[in-house]
Structure formats: C-alpha cells, structure tokens
Amino acid sequence: MAASTPRQCLVTGANRGLGLEFCVQLLISGANVVATTRSTGRATKLNSLVAKYPGRLHVLPLDVSDAKSVAELVRELPLVAEGPFDLLINNAGVLHSGERFGHVTAANLDDSLRTNASGPFLLSQSIAESLADGAKIANISSQLGSIENTTAFYTPTYAISKAAQNMATRLLANALRERGIVVLALHPGWVQTEMGGPDAQIEPRVAVEGLLRVIDDAGLDDSGRFFDYTGRPMPW
Ligand code: NDP
C-alpha cells in the first residue's frame, strides 16, 4: 500500500456507477471500505465484492436524504470499522431530467436538495468525530453546479442542489481545517453511468482514477476548492 493510500474509507451511493468504481479501485489499492447503498439486498455487484475482499468490505444501508438513516449509519459504523476514517466520499446523487421552466416541481427540488446538498453536509457533520485528523472528504459535485458556467435553463433542481453542495464544501473545509481535514468539491467529468448516459465522454474507471489522484494530491491549501477529475480548477 502506498504511503498516501487511505486505509479506511466510506463511500455513499456505492451500488452502481461512480460509487461502485470508487469501491473497486480503493479495494484494489489495499484500503478497507465501508460502502453504503439505499438497498443492500439489491446491490448485487457490490455484494459480490464482499467475498473477493474478505473482512475488508462492509456494506451498510444509507439513504442520504433521510436524517434517521444517517443516524442509524453513525450508530453502526463502530461495529464494522477499525479505527477512524481517512476518506469520506459523498458520491450519492440524483438528477431529475427533463425539467422545464414553469413545470419544475417542489418535490424534485426538495429531493435534489436533500440528496445532493443536505445529505453530504449532514453526513460529514455526523461522522466528523469518526474522521482521522488529516482525513479527506470528497464531495462529488458537477460542472452543472458552477454558477459561472451556467448560461441556460438546464437541469435546474440538480444545478441548484450542486451549487448548494459547493457552499457546503467550503463551509465544511473551514470548520474542519484546524484538524487538518481536507474537503474538496470534485467534478468527475461526463461519465458513462446511468446518470451520465451512454453518450458520455469517459468511462467510470478513467473518472475514478483521476478523482483518486486529485484527492491523493490535495493538501490543506486546496481544502474548500473545486476541481475536475484531471485536477483542473473549476469556476464556482
Ligand atoms: P448513478 O445514477 O449511476 O448513481 C447514483 C448513485 O447515487 C446510486 O448508487 C444511487 O442509488 C445513489 N443515490 C441516489 N439517491 C440516493 C439517496 N437518497 N441515498 C443514497 N444513495 C442515493 O450516477 P453516477 O454514478 O454518475 O453519479 C455519482 C455522482 O457523480 C453523483 O453525485 C452525480 O451527481 C455526480 N456526477 C455524475 C456525472 C456523470 O456524468 N455521470 C457528472 C457530474 C457529476 P440507487 O441505486 O438506490 O438509486
């Protein structure tokens, strides 16, 4: 294991897409992983990794939009995790497509904000005491949450929620700086997942390799900043 390889990691939304790929690459690197998913029973690909990495992968239920579910996870973590976490990846996210001005619903806005903004913020706050000093939190953001880059009315509830998540990233970075904890907002690129669709530009493997490199390279001076998967700074 490389010196900088995180030993104990927590990944949300780990049953598919980027979350699953984060788990695969972290396990290959030698880390222990607590992987969370809304439905542990249906997480077939994730569950199949448990036998491949005995004792190193634990799968726990978590709906990031539900405060009770977050509290339940926090109660269960000490039962499976050995020592504090070195890395939290707030990856779970939702995108309601096809939204048009005049027809955006309160339900979509509420769901997007709870899942993409409140979820990562409240989970980070709840497990802050279980993070090692010098740990890292990666909030998986999106270029669609960049206010400066927004020139059209596109995916509004997603964009609003990711912009809110970006503020959460900066605030968490400020709150946790004195413990040496680095908090990053990261755009993964346009990735071939259920969310990104088949026309997306890059494979999850490429996006996650890049994101893990950016996380690995980030120091305290980078905390509270927004980067893409190649390490390029993103405009807020
Ligand atoms: P997917 O749609 O493939 O996966 C989303 C994951 O989030 C699933 O595991 C899903 O679980 C989980 N999830 C959704 N809502 C909740 C919830 N309330 N509680 C817990 N888990 C939840 O998307 P990606 O893998 O592409 O996305 C991962 C992250 O990357 C997201 O934050 C997304 O916004 C971001 N991103 C992706 C881009 C892309 O091009 N793919 C571009 C920019 C950002 P379930 O199976 O139960 O629904």
Mean pLDDT of the 111-127 span: 98
Q: What percent of the chain has pLDDT above 70?
A: 98
- Give residue-wise pLDDT tens across range 19-44: 999 999 999 999 999 999 999 999 99
The three-class DSSP label of residue 3 is coil
Is 0.90 topped by the overall pTM? yes
What's the rounded Cα separation, in Å, for the pair 199 and 37? Answer: 26
Token digits of residue 48: 């199949």
CA of 90 to the centre of ligand 1 (A): 10
- Give residue-wise pLDDT tens across range 60-94: 999 999 999 999 999 999 999 888 999 999 999 99
Residue 17, ligand 1, Cβ within 6 A: yes
Question: Are the C-beta atoms of residues 185 and 161 closer than 8 Å to each other?
Answer: no
pLDDT at res. 82: 82
- Cα-based distances in Å from 83 to 1, 32, 130, 137, 234: 17, 11, 8, 16, 34
- Give residue-wise pLDDT tens across range 150-185: 999 999 999 999 999 999 999 999 999 999 999 999
- Nearest atom, ligand 1, residue 143 CA: 43
Cβ neighbours of 107 (radius 10 Å): 10
